[in-house]
Structure 1
Amino acid sequence: MKTLLLDIGNVLVGFDFGRARPKFQAASTATGDPLERLAELKYDLEIGAIDGDAFVSAGMKTLGFQKSAADFRRIWEEIFTPIDAMWEVVLKARATHRLLLLSNTSDIHKDHLFRDYSIFRHFSGGIYSYSSHCLKPDPLIFRKAIEEYSLVPEETLYVDDLEDNVHVAAGAGFAAVRYDPAAHDAFLTEARALGLRLPED
């Protein structure tokens, strides 16, 4: 395998939008679940129909958010935790594989992750739903990755936490494996069988 193509959420960082719920509730006048009220805007954000600034502005109006735009953005950002075991894989694999990303994400989260999480500096590029205007498991986003980075799917190991995405990637010719942070050793066994090579191997 020449390239390691990784999803972000629940592969490199865990995420929980539920962490934002009580913070939004405490600072908003709207009733009901704030995440449900923001769901359509979130979809538009992650598919690139609106950018981060437009999302924040519309989200503040939707919730009756009483603090600043910076506060709203910070709440939306602070949902991540590092997955240390996969960070160790990346730090080893950078010596043996080209590292790329393929993720359903927004400009807000991508910018936050690259700014505040050092692991992302080791990736040479990525395909993101907000800039590609399509979301996994749409096969189009995998074709965009192939075209943008001249990938040979059979020489690329794709890792994702969702089985549907793994299935579509495999259908596009990638060596593809599902990642479960609770079963990291099992992932390593399967990934090595598919061609992952780390310096210790």
Structure 2
Amino acid sequence: MKEIIFDIGGVLLNWNPDVFLKKYFAGNEERLKKIVFLSDEWKMLDLGNANVNEVRALILKHHPNDIKAINFIFDHFEEEMLQPIDDTVKAIKALKKAGYKLYILSNIHQDLFHERTHDYHEIFSLFSGAVLSGEEHCLKPDPAIYHILFKRYNLTPSNCLFIDDSPANIETARKLGMEGIVRKEQKNLIAALKTMGIHL
């Protein structure tokens, strides 16, 4: 196994809307999660069909009674959630030192991605490439976006290990011939990698 592919949200960077919303909107978190993060508008963002400001405007238009909460969410979700996960960062550095090639495959808008790569250049500079849903207009677990990754970087699925927080995304990876780790099921990523035959 030569190539290790990482998701971003929930794997490389924190992504937990439940915790964020409960912290500031206890008792109303489920409704706001549906309004923002589970909305069709947010899917447009992940697909690259609208940017963050456009999605914010659309959600505000559709939910005029929640303007204050929606604006707060958009003003603070990046700083509150999109922060590096220490355990994953340790694993990435160990993998790079051991000679593995690292890639990213993520459902994320390219603007959010490039902001994070700027803020955390030391981490993202360790990767050899990235495929983003916002640039490809295609979301995991659609096999098409995996094939884009394989073709762009000349990867052989059987040589790849994919780490994602979604069981559905890992299921697709395995169907395509990759190995997979569901990140949220593993508290110690380095230990999980070693069980997969990764030498660190």
TM-score scaled to structure 1, two decimals?
0.79
Partner of 1:106: 109
For 1:165 and 1:66, the matched residues in 2 are separated by 34
Instruction: Show CA shifts across 1:133-163 (max 9, x none).
Output: 1111111111111111111112222112222
For 2:195 and 2:31, the matched residues in 1 are separated by 40
For 1:23 and 1:59, the matched residues in 2 are separated by 19
- Maintained 8 Å contact 2:164/2:181: yes
Partner of 1:29: none
- Maintained 8 Å contact 1:56/1:72: no
Partner of 1:184: 189
Instruction: Show CA shifts across 1:98-123 (max 9, x none).
Output: 11100112234323322323422221
Q: Does 1:15 align with 2:15?
A: yes
SS at match of 2:187: helix
Partner of 1:119: 123
Aligned ranges 1:13-52 → 2 under 5 Å: 13-18=13-18, 19-20=20-21, 33-38=31-36, 39-52=39-52
| CA drift at 1:183 | 4.6
Opposite residue 53 of structure 1, the aligned amino acid is: N
Equivalent residue in structure 1 for 2:100, among 84, 97, 101: 97
Give RMSD over aligned pairs: 2.8
Opposite residue 40 of structure 1, the aligned amino acid is: D
Opposite residue 61 of structure 2, the aligned amino acid is: K
Question: How many positions carry a matched residue from both structures?
Answer: 188
Partner of 1:87: 89
For 2:175 and 2:161, the matched residues in 1 are separated by 13
Which ranges in structure 2 are unaligned for 5 or more consecutive residues? none
Partner of 2:144: 140
Question: Structure 1's 106 and 176: CA in aligned 2 closer, same or farther, altered over 3 A?
Answer: same
For 2:125 and 2:194, the matched residues in 1 are separated by 26
